[in-house]
Amino acid sequence: MATKQRGRPRSFDRETALEKAMRAFWENGYEATSVSDLTREMGIGAPSLYAAFGDKRTLFEEVVQVYGTTHGAGPGRALAEEPTARGAIERLLREAADAFTDPALPHGCLVIHAATNCTTPEVEQALRERRATSIGAIADRLRQGVAAGELPEGTDATALARCFAAVFQGMSQQARDGASRTELEAVAALAMTVWPGIEPTCSGTRGEGRTLE
């Protein structure tokens, strides 16, 4: 004999509601997205929101986690999958130009845009740490490139990582300002011109090359 489920069954699909919440935060930023905005977009009442996701901040934390494994997973894949450091950075920026201008999604990067005018210290700090982690991942990939001989030994991997991260963040904002995919691809291509080269010596052996300092 089957037993009856206790409590009132949930009347909405949690994953669908979470995706809608993601789009609301992505479009408007954390601070400008109210609980009433969320319930309207998600199609649920405030009691259901609190019961399923907790408060606004807890919901946002889950949204950011999901974003990082779905729409925002491209940079991590680029760094992990490309066989060369240069190929990884080129792919990261090229795919950003595509993702940031996808007509089916809010433009730009959620993690970058959600921090705009944020006055909640815990959220601001969490987003800052997430961006710092991304810069660290880029720097680690560049260090691997130095170790493999793709970059000069004196390359400042941290500075170069910050340079490419600044381009990535700027592309996000420009996408929100209406820049097209083609325009952002041009930005990505231009950014790659700062890639440090390994200059040959007169004898044909590799020299120290130039560094980004």
pLDDT in the model for residue 117: 84
Kindly report, residue by residue over 17-39, the tens digit of the pLDDT: 999 999 999 999 999 999 999 99
**What distances in angstroms separate CA 205 from CA 127, 182, 202, 213, one per listed residue?**
45, 39, 7, 23
Contact criterion met (CB below 8 Å) for 138 and 72: no
**CA 134 from centre of chain:** 8
Query: What is the C-alpha to C-alpha distance for residues 77 and 66, in angstroms, rounded to an integer?
Result: 15
77-104 pLDDT, tens digit per residue, is: 999 999 999 999 999 999 999 999 999 9
pTM assigned to the model: 0.86
